[in-house]
Structure 1
Amino acid sequence: MIAARKVLDDLAYGRVTGKLLGSRYVAGDLTGYASVKFDVPGSPTRRFRLVYGNIDNDTRGVLAIGVRDEHAIYRLALERLQTSNESSTTDEF
């Protein structure tokens, strides 16, 4: 999708900054992450979200990108965070 590539470029080059997320009743705690709204050119709404976190001053890590529909994108982002946290605390032998 061209719109997704554009928002990724805009984020990478600092042309957009997302809205900070926090604890969300419908999705869970996304404190420390942000969301950027976007859609295809000419659309009257912005149906899609890109959820990301700052890795350092110059690097963003995309956690999830997709439709907002009933907050599904935020639940997906939280699920990915939880999966990542679980795998990083698992002992490897």
Structure 2
Amino acid sequence: MGRDRTALIDSGLYAGYPSLERGSEELGLKLVDLDMLLLTHEHMDHVGNNGAIKRASGCTIVGHKAPSCPAKTRARSQPSSRITITGVTMRGWTT
């Protein structure tokens, strides 16, 4: 049998990290104990703390490789440069 694992869905805005820590502690959890961070999509209000959480916990980060709105992206997107936020490098697309 496997063991219980702790996962977080989306990491929120970067400025919200203290609230994320407090909320986790209220549930009896610690961000450093996360096993997995699941990403619903690439908007900054969902991925802003990915780097901090990865550094603190070493958790696996899982997300889909496709953009959140593929039809819109194909029609009008332009690739942007790579950006590094809190130690995580991402390649963005502007729409």
Give the strand-richer structure, 1 or 2: 1
Question: Do Structure 1 and Structure 2 share a fold, with TM-score over 0.5?
Answer: no
Between structure 1 and structure 2, the one with the greater Rg is 2
- Normalised to the residue count of structure 2, the TM-score between the two structures is 0.24
Greater RCO structure (CA 8 Å; 6+ sep)? 2
- Normalised to the residue count of structure 1, the TM-score between the two structures is 0.24
